[in-house]
A and B are shown apart, each in its own frame.
Chain A
Amino acid sequence: MGKHNTPMLDELEKGPWPSFVSDIKQQADKGKHILKEAPNDLLGIMEMSYVDKVTHWKHGGIVGVFGYGGGIIGRYCDQPQMFPGVAHFHTVRVNQPSSKYYTSDYLRKLCDLWERHGSGLTNMHGSTGDIVFLGTTTDHLEPLFYELTHDLNQDLGGSGSNLRTPECCLGMSRCQFACYDTEETCHQMTNAYQEELHRPAFPYKFKFKFDGCPNGCVASIARSDMSVIGTWRDDIRIDQAAVKAYVGGELKPNAGAHSSRDWGKFDIQAEVINRCPTECMCYGDGKLEINNAECVRCMHCLNVMPRALRIGEDRGASVLFGAKAPILEGAQMSTLTVPFMKMEAPFDELKELVEKVWDWWMEEGKNRERLGELIQRKSMQEFLRVIELDPDPRMVDEPRSNPYIFWKEEEVEGGWTRDIDAYRKKHLR
């Protein structure tokens, strides 16, 4: 048994799944971490929270590293005498490499660094993508930061009212669906906005996420204030011979995924054509046809028959704004704002766009108001005016659900004035 009796946590070690409780116990027994009592006391305070059904953490503080207004989150427990190992238990967010690629050697160095300066406990990765170091004391923060930046050439991520650590999918490094180089974009945008990442600039958090295609592997449409989602302007490329090979059973649908069950013979009509949300496909006489103008990039047909269907060649991205989690008024998906933008370094068009958005949000946003909430409060029309874009039917999700776009008086011939007598001649009361 460990330092504390933890019967409720021990339950979480049962069953076939990996258990974070086992991981913490392993670190407590075998870890070389400098804060010796931290893992055991963490288990102790968690057990207490499970029994009491309330948290025993106090969040927030003035702790940080010099000149940075983000990346470190102060955390303290409210039972320091009982659990001295977690009396101070600050979180450190480390900016992950694009697509979370690193060598095992680099990971070992990160873990060694964290054992020299903290609890040795990590969260790989936080929901914004950061490498999260869990639990250290204030005196370790500056030495940790120095070694992280000087020896490992890595930086802290974002927290607080800052730009949060930008995140991207695997993109062109692994994926045939990538419509632009998400890793390059993420890297360039991270470097361009270091000031916004490390020093508070905004009314609240702001997130960029870069998805290479509408499959959305980093879920940018659901979680980021600015979602950049790869798309194409021309037609889906069709290899008719490969379509026939799928129909004939020579090629496995979904690249062999979901093959642990017998789903029967591949049925292109049932599994592809009938599942198209805009009914823009048909298959007859051994030929697949797509009405590309109606395609909404749901990606289903490309995912099912990746050898037969490929993304178009005129590629770029759609830019959407305003997603957020459900703190106020429920979760919100981001709204399509720029239907298509070429995504090429140095990404000036994207930078110009986001800077206009930031200027408006900094000026008009209330404290702790996300961009999506500001757009809702001030209207989509006002948002488009500020970023100097004309309304476009593609911005409307479905009729009468999006905020209306109204004409302005100067846009209408004759303005709002009318001859009531002339009107009444044609329209009797």
Chain B
Amino acid sequence: MTEDEAKKAILENLQGKSKTKSKFYLKDFYSMVPDMKPREIKNIVNKMVQEGHLEYWSSGSTTLIGLKGMGKQHQEED
């Protein structure tokens, strides 16, 4: 699977789940791209954040990742 195909699979997967869940652990992404190793998927996910497709949510101790703009946003956090 190419990097572009992996990105597409991740986006489709997240969009499919967006009604029930907006934030995911990094490990949840592994099953979206079963052909790739965790380290490669980690790099792709982080790249997708920099490209503006995904965004981080951090509790301070744990980081979750979701589609940019989905779920609770900054204006609603306060």
Are A74 and B77 touching (Cβ within 8 A)? yes
Nearest 6 interchain pairs by C-beta: A160-B63, A60-B59, A73-B60, A200-B63, A362-B38, A160-B58
Are A359 and B39 touching (Cβ within 8 A)? yes
Residues of B in contact (CB 8 Å), total: 25
18 contacting pairs across A/B (C-beta < 8 A):
A59-B60, A61-B57, A62-B57, A62-B77, A67-B50, A73-B58, A73-B59, A73-B60, A138-B74, A159-B61, A160-B58, A160-B59, A161-B25, A161-B63, A199-B49, A200-B42, A201-B26, A204-B62
Docked complex: A58-84 residues within 8 A CB-CB of B? 58-64, 66-67, 69-70, 72-74, 76, 80
B62 contact set on A, CB distance < 8 A = 160-161, 204-205, 367-368
B60 contact set on A, CB distance < 8 A = 59-60, 73, 91, 159-160
* A-B pairs under 8 A by CB, number: 95
- With A201-B39, A365-B27 given, name 5 new contacts (CB 8 A): A60-B57, A200-B56, A202-B26, A203-B26, A205-B61
**A160 to chain B: closest residue by CB:** B63
The reply on A117 being an interface residue by CB < 8 A is: no
Residues of A in contact (CB 8 Å), total: 39
Are B59 and A199 touching (Cβ within 8 A)? no
The reply on A151 being an interface residue by CB < 8 A is: no
Are A63 and B38 touching (Cβ within 8 A)? no
Interface residues of B, Cβ cutoff 8 Å to A: 25-28, 38-39, 42, 46, 49-50, 55-63, 65, 72-74, 77-78
B33 CB → nearest A CB, Å = 14
Per DSSP, chain A at the interface is loop
Are A69 and B56 touching (Cβ within 8 A)? yes
Interface residues of A, Cβ cutoff 8 Å to B: 58-64, 66-67, 69-70, 72-74, 76, 80, 87-88, 91, 138, 159-162, 195, 199-205, 359, 362-363, 365-368
Are A70 and B59 touching (Cβ within 8 A)? no
A80 CB → nearest B CB, Å = 6
Do A69 and B38 form a contact, CB below 8 Å, given A74-B77, A162-B63?
A: no
* Contact partner, A67, options B28, B49, B61, Cβ 8 Å: B49
How many angstroms from the CA of A199 to the CA of B48 in the assembled complex?
12
Do A362 and B74 form a contact, CB below 8 Å, given A161-B62, A161-B63, A368-B62?
A: no
Are B55 and A200 touching (Cβ within 8 A)? no
Are B63 and A87 touching (Cβ within 8 A)? no
How many angstroms from the CA of A263 to the CA of B67 in the assembled complex?
66
B39 contact set on A, CB distance < 8 A = 201, 359, 362
